[in-house]
Every structure is written in C-alpha cells, then in structure tokens.
Amino acid sequence: MNFRLTGEQELLRNEAQKLAREVFKDRAARWDQKAEVPWDNIKLLAEQGYFGLLIPAEYGGSGGSIMDLALVLEQFGWACVSTTMYVFSSNVHANRIAQLGSNEHKAKYLPEIAAGRVLPCHAMSEPQAGSDANRIRTSAVLDGGHYVVNGNKCWISRGAVAHLFLVDVVFKEREKSEKGLLIIERGTPGLEIGKIEPLMGHRGSPSTELLFRDCRVAVANRMTHGDFQSSLMSMSLSRCCNAAIALGVAQRAYDEAVEYLQQREAFGKRLADFQGLRWMIADMAVKLDAARLLIYRAAVNATAGFPSETEAAIAKTFANEAALSVVSDAMQLFGANGYSCAYPIERLYRDVRGFAIAGGTTQIQRNLIARRVLGRRR
C-alpha cells in the first residue's frame, strides 16, 4: 500500500498548514472563550474552496479525494477545532448528497455548499437514540405530495447555524415503514431550532435540539438513492474524518510539549534531558504515527465514496484514544501550566475529548470491528 503523497496533495496540505498556522491558530482562543461561531474563518474557507473538496467539479467543487480531505482536516484541527468542524460537515454531508441524493438534490444543494452559502448538518440523535440508531422515532408520514414530520432531535452539531438538515426519519407510507434520510431546509414551517447545549469543547460549533411539529416536507426531498443501511454506511466517512481532526489536535499538543521541554529547566537541566520525560515523548510519537497510518489506510482504500466501515472504525478507535492519551500526557508535561488557561493545552484537552463520543463511541466502534472479525452475535 502506497502512502506517498502526490505533488498535488503535498501542495494542498502545505497550503492548509500555512492558513492554519498563520491565521486560525491565533484566533482559536477567542472563539473558544466567547463560544462564538468563527464566521471570519468560515468566510475565508469558503473563498478558498475548502467546503467543496469532495464535491464534483461539475457542481462547483474540486472533486478531491477522501485522502485530500483527511490531510486538510488534520492541519486545520491542529489550529482550531471549532473552525475545522465546518470544513468537516460541509464536505461529509455534501458527499452524502453526492452519493445518496437525486440529480435534483445535487444540482440544487452542492453548488451552494461548495460556495459556503449553505452550511449542512446531519440530524440523527434523539433523546432515546444515540449510538442505537434503530431506536429512531422521528416520523415522516406520507400525506399527498408531502411528508409530515414529527419528533425531536438532540446533540445536533452546528444545528444552531445550519441552513440544511439531513434528517434520519422513519418513513411511513400506507402499511410500510422504513428508515431513511430526508432533506429539510431551515425556515420550513414546523421546524424549530431548540436550545443550544453548552459544551466542554468545540465551543464555536454549537450543538442544539431540533423540534419537528407537523413539519411538511416535499416528497422530492427524500434521499432516494440508498436505504437506511446506506445512510449508516456513510457514517464511515464521518468517522475517518473525526479521527483526522483528533490527530491534528494531538499533534498540536505534542508539538507544544516538545517545545516546552526544550525550553523549561529544572534541577539544573532542561526537562528534555530527563530520560523519563523523553520516553513519554517517544511514546507520544509512536501513537501519532500509528494513528496517522490507520487514517491514511482507511482514506486511501475508500471505494464508492465511503471508506470501509471496519477500517474507519479501527482508525477512529485508535486515533481517538491515542489523541486523548497524547494530549493528556502533554498536559502532564506542562505541569501546572498545562492546567492554566494561559496555555493552549487545556483547550486542546477539552476539544479532543469529544471525538471519542461523536460519530459513534469507541465502544460502538469495537462492536463494529468485532462483528466483522467474529460475525454478528446470534
């Protein structure tokens, strides 16, 4: 398997790294402290085409690969998680439309997403249905040329600012019921944006409730190319990208720790000269490299628009846990300074913690991996 980057990929990564370090890095604390949406960054990202990385050129995107997106997300995650989550959602959900939507969906929404004029999000979780997607109860009952949607969604990332919602529902037509995706636009009568949940991290990427009360949505908004299982399979891209952002956060913490150890002195020598601390840095480097290779494998091997469910689950599980370990060790190496808001480590710790929960917990990923290895439990 060849993980060598092409010249175009190296250029893409380097440009993203430059933007992250010269612009986003110094703004990150502001968005976090004020829990504000990074609109300045979003505008800049849209202008530079980062919301259309996975969108085909015919719809205004660059027609890039999942590997391209993973490279960019890692670099942006290094600087500002809140900003990165908008690149994540625009590309991941645009890809869902590109792979599972109708030609009309693609023509209507993809150019708008690529230009940054429409921010999409995915609405799956419900009060009783998080990791157990089979417990989704939000209903879409056929009524002539419309579905009437009723139900509640929760923990909808970027739901407070999104213009477009890809909503998992139970379609009910005559005697038939089946789960699938329905596209619902912001402002549709019967859709209410609920309370914003205050979060530990990702504070510039607000999570909210969505309330549907006799919300009438045209039948044409049903994602027709793919059943509910296809929708679940599309989560593999989300998980691969989740892992890439977590890796970026961990790499930032590692870089900060290496610099700190080389500058800080104790007992007459640099912290970097203490063997115990050098071993911690070595272990952190091993975890970062292993996580990166697993993410690259999942991205490179992607077919039909999505990574393998198993490879994405492996990448997410390892990268999430490795990232949390690396950031935690970085905080330990900083001592009391790591616990201080004057340094970025405490923000990185708060930001990295959510990745092992979002997109399916690491425990759920282990279930997916075991099912592949051992077969479905009978």
Report the alpha-carbon distance of residue 116 to residue 87 in Å, rounded: 10
Tokens encoding 211: 């309330």
Report the alpha-carbon distance of residue 141 to residue 144 in Å, rounded: 10
Q: Rounded to two decimals, what is the model's pTM?
A: 0.95
Domains of the chain and any CATH numbers: 7-118 (1.10.540.10), 121-226 (2.40.110.10), 234-374 (1.20.140.10)
Once rounded to an integer, what is the mean pLDDT over residues 23-43?
95
Q: What is the pLDDT of residues 168-215, one digit of tens each?
A: 999 998 778 889 999 999 999 999 999 999 999 999 999 999 999 999
Question: What integer pLDDT is reported at residue 377 of this predicted model?
Answer: 59
Of 8-22, 227-241, 274-288, 331-345, least confident by mean pLDDT is 227-241
> Exposed, middle or buried, 264 (CB in 10 Å: 0-12/13-18/19+)?
middle
Report the alpha-carbon distance of residue 301 to residue 289 in Å, rounded: 18
Report H helices in the chain. 7-19, 25-34, 39-47, 66-79, 81-100, 103-114, 228-233, 235-263, 275-300, 309-334, 345-353, 362-374
How many CB atoms sit inside 10 A of residue 366's CB? 13
Q: Which residues fall within 8 angstroms of residue 116, CB to CB, at 6 or more apart?
A: 42, 43, 45, 46, 47, 51, 90
Strands 164-173 and 120-123: parallel
Question: What integer pLDDT is reported at residue 376 of this predicted model?
Answer: 65
Q: What is the 3-state secondary structure (H, E, C) of 54-104?
A: CCCHHHCCCCCCHHHHHHHHHHHHHHCHHHHHHHHHHHHHHHHHHHHCCHH
Of 159, 147, 111, 138, the C-alpha closest to 221 is: 147
Question: What integer pLDDT is reported at residue 246 of this predicted model?
Answer: 99
How many CB atoms sit inside 10 A of residue 25's CB? 15
